[in-house]
Amino acid sequence: MPIYHQLGDIPRKRHIVFRSPQGGLYAEELIGNKGFVGPASLLYHAHQPTHVKQTRRMRDLQWESDPERQFRHRHFRTHQLTAGGSLVLDRVPVLFNPDVAMLFAQPTRGDDFFYRNAQGDEIVYVADGAGVLETQLGDIAFSQGDYLVIPRGILHRYTFTATPVRCLVIESTGYVRTPRRYRNEHGQLMETSPYSERDIRRPTNLRPRVEKGEFRLVVKKENRLHELVVEWHPFDVVGWDGYYYPWAINIHDFEPRVGRFHLPPPVHQTFEGDHFVVCSFCPRPYDFDPSAVPAPYNHSNVMSDEVIYYASSEFMSRKGIEYGSITLHPDGVPHGPHPGRTEASIGAQRTDELAVMLDTFRPLHVSRQALEIEDSDYYRSWLDA
């Protein structure tokens, strides 16, 4: 994140002697992407973070795609998936390509281990539930409607305070950031951006834990989960500063744009990744000209696959969609409002829709697991009854 942040105790200068009250040296660690030139934070541990006692391979994460590679508009009902397990270990892949994956999780327990994704950044959209994202850089309390952005390499653990918990997880090969066009040349979000730094929640409540024992870390690397056992509690950071840390923003802190006539989805853009964007459709008044058509026009997403997760049951242009639905409208066939929805939208004053959209610039694969929750007639739903 392009906002400098600091928590806990840090020395006057980087890379100088910095001791605990007992006289021991704190262990300095740089966490950052792109080697030593990307966004980074500098951490001070009570103990060396390098003390690994054991490692073992846990399991491979096989993301298998629909063997038929069916080409049509798709609709998946995520709430038909069985709830259970851990938010980080029991994610069900729905759609994926080399740049980005969309997964769904309905965890029923917090974790007694710590998790690090060493191959991707994560955007976790909290559709239901509440809790605390504990990290080595501090805590972020979360609740319904929050996006949690967790850059790769950040060790973390979830605890839940309200259930059920339902999360849409977007795993990204590239660095997840605020859209470039919202930032000025100095990195600040501009007045014209639909959200500002004030809406971005950074870690708080740094609680260094100095405990010796056996602590389990689960690390995802090259589509495989590994378990590491370390000797010291990994949340032993007494202070840190920098630009690389987890952050959160609530979907209702995204200020929707409204025009005299229909504005296209780029006005809803919330995040930027490599070869994909994420947009938020939020409750808002409709277009304000009396002759405006609020429903979207038909469109062909040339060079882009479009995915929408419906975070409430209302969506102005779709029928047969429920809370928790995911639709995939692939490049190669147009899509648009369902029959009657364009006419019905004329004169409407506002919408309460809430949805998360993922637009990918390379084709998406449908997972095998998603076939089990597919409404396979969805592609015919534009036919007149």
Q: Which residues contact Fe ion (rule: CB under 5 A)?
A: 306
Q: Measured from the CB atom, is 93 or 296 closer to Fe ion?
A: 296
CB of 306 to Fe ion, least distance (A): 5
Shortest Å, Cβ 330 to Fe ion: 11
Task: Give least dist CB 280 to Fe ion, A.
Answer: 14
Nearer to Fe ion, 78 or 301 (CB): 301
Q: Which residue is nearest to Fe ion (CB)?
A: 306
CA dist 240 and 224 (Å) reads 30
C-alpha distances in angstroms, 274 versus 72, 180, 203, 246? 25, 12, 25, 18
Class of residue 143 by CB neighbours under 10 A (exposed 0-12, middle 13-18, buried 19+):
middle
- 115 or 315: CB nearest Fe ion: 315
Q: Please say which residue, 49 or 330, places its beta carbon nearer to Fe ion.
A: 330
Query: Residue 295 Cβ, how far from Fe ion at the closest point, in Å?
Result: 11
Q: Residue 292 in 3-state DSSP?
A: coil
* Contact partners, residue 375, CB within 8 Å, separation at least 6: 75, 76, 77, 320
> Nearest-CA neighbor of 2 among 36, 44, 35, 40?
40
Minimum distance from residue 327 beta carbon to Fe ion (Å): 9
| Residue-level length of the chain | 385
The nearer residue to Fe ion, 143 or 312, going by C-beta atoms, is 312
Of the pair 235, 309, the CB lying nearest Fe ion is at: 309
* C-alpha distance from residue 199 to each of 195, 265, 331 (Å): 6, 21, 34
CA torsion, ordered 93, 91, 171, 32, to nearest 10 deg: -150
- Supply the minimum distance, in Å, between the C-beta of residue 378 and Fe ion: 14
